[in-house]
Amino acid sequence: DQQVKQNSPSLSVQEGRISILNCDYTNSMFDYFLWYKKYPAEGPTFLISISSIKDKNEDGRFTVFLNKSAKHLSLHIVPSQPGDSAVYFCAANFGNEKLTFGTGTRLTIIP
């Protein structure tokens, strides 16, 4: 049973435009949400996070939005750059030692 879902396996966006990656979850008890970015042949790296008491967190070009009533979060990247081409994973946490990851979305930025 997939508790964290990324329903879009891939996404292509023109350079300079906004990229929006989506993530849905089923368990309302999740307290924290994280986004990771992964390049080929490398391990995932942490990108940005948000707690369930907030609805938005911003870090430079990256903003994460949380809609608790819809059990939905999204990552906005603006403007998109070629170096943003990667696989993005969302993850959720009950505030304990384990993360539950989604299946990932491959983002391709078109020059």
Residues that bind another protein (CB under 8 A): 6, 9, 31-32, 34, 36, 41-46, 49, 51, 89, 91, 93, 95-99, 101-104
Length of the chain: 111
**Whose Cβ is closer to another protein: residue 41's or residue 70's?**
41
Position of tokens 């009950």? 94
Minimum CB–partner distance for residue 61 and another protein (Å): 20
Minimum CB–partner distance for residue 105 and another protein (Å): 10
Minimum CB–partner distance for residue 44 and another protein (Å): 5
Question: Does 44 sit behind a cis peptide bond, omega within 30 degrees of 0 on the bond before it?
Answer: no
Q: Which amino acid is at 4?
A: V
The CA distance from 89 to 75, in Å, is 10
- Other C-beta atoms closer than 10 Å to the C-beta of 40 total 7
Position of tokens 């707690």? 51
**Whose Cβ is closer to another protein: residue 9's or residue 82's?**
9
**Whose Cβ is closer to another protein: residue 13's or residue 91's?**
91
**Whose Cβ is closer to another protein: residue 14's or residue 51's?**
51
The CA distance from 28 to 52, in Å, is 9
Minimum CB–partner distance for residue 56 and another protein (Å): 16
